[in-house]
Amino acid sequence: MRSLLVILYLILYLIISLPLFLVAFILKKTKGPNAAHAFAQPFVNWGWRCILWLSGSCVTVKGQENIPDGPVLYISNHRSYWDIMVIYTTVRGLTGFIAKKSMGKVPLISYWMRFMHGLFLDRENIKEGLKTILQAIDYVNDDQVSIFIAPEGTRNHEDQLLPFKAGSFKIAQRTGCPIVPVVNINTDGAYELHRPWVRPAKMAVIYGEPIYMDQLEPQNRKHIAEYVQGIIQKMYDENKHLGEE
């Protein structure tokens, strides 16, 4: 029943979004990308919250006070398609997501993501992947927008994190923005663990203390991907009980 409700809602949501899409387009052309982003993000957040409610999901949020003012690089583990719903409804400020290339082909949803400084990363093409990272750097520097990325590169349902891709951290290295470690817990409990059905799940998202590259020891700066992965792994191990039913 919940699966059907979510599908029907998504169809209705996309229909409702059509005229609002035009408003966002006009704002982007007349007042700039940040105006369109500021209009689009609350609407998209409302949509994600409705899906979480329809699915019966309960989300515990911890550590939002750790998010500093100004643009940041959010780095998280990746468990589910639902990560973006949980994260987007809890981040502070305008935030763009870097998603896999295939998401860029999803009608309407991909357009909304582009209004919100969303980017689509081709992990199989190093040259195109670098262009995406460079664009994200421009967004942070020029538009003062935060960027979210999951450097595992694919969904992982195990307790042990996959190796983080080092290229993701160039955004913080080039801009000087702080890194905020983020942990998603049991977000795959709503769908992936029993697809194709949507079921209630107890989830959690934890925001860790910001990491400033210029304050790290040289060894940790050199191996920043492994350093941040270790922090997120520890956060996951300490909080995974929050996703237990």
96 domain residue, yes or no:
yes
Report helix, strand and coil shares of the chain as percent, to nearest 5.
Answer: 55, 15, 30
36 domain residue, yes or no:
no
Q: Please indicate whether residue 104 or residue 23 has the higher confidence score (pLDDT).
A: 23
Q: Over the stretch 8-34, which tens digit does the pLDDT of each residue have?
A: 988 888 888 888 989 999 999 999 999
Average pLDDT score over residue span 40-58: 91
Report CA Rg, the chain: 18
25 domain residue, yes or no:
no
Q: How far are the Cα atoms of 48, 52, 128, 192, 205 from residue 239, in angstroms, in the given order?
A: 23, 21, 36, 20, 9
Rounded CA-CA distance 171/242 in Å is: 31
7 domain residue, yes or no:
no
For residue 11, what pLDDT is reported?
Answer: 87
**How many domains would you assign to the chain?**
1
- Quick one: pLDDT band at residue 67, thresholds 50, 70, 90? very high
Rounded CA-CA distance 169/130 in Å is: 12
Rounded CA-CA distance 107/217 in Å is: 45
Average pLDDT score over residue span 230-242: 95
CATH of the domain at 96: 3.40.1130.10
* Residues of the domain holding 138: 57-243
For residue 123, what pLDDT is reported?
Answer: 77
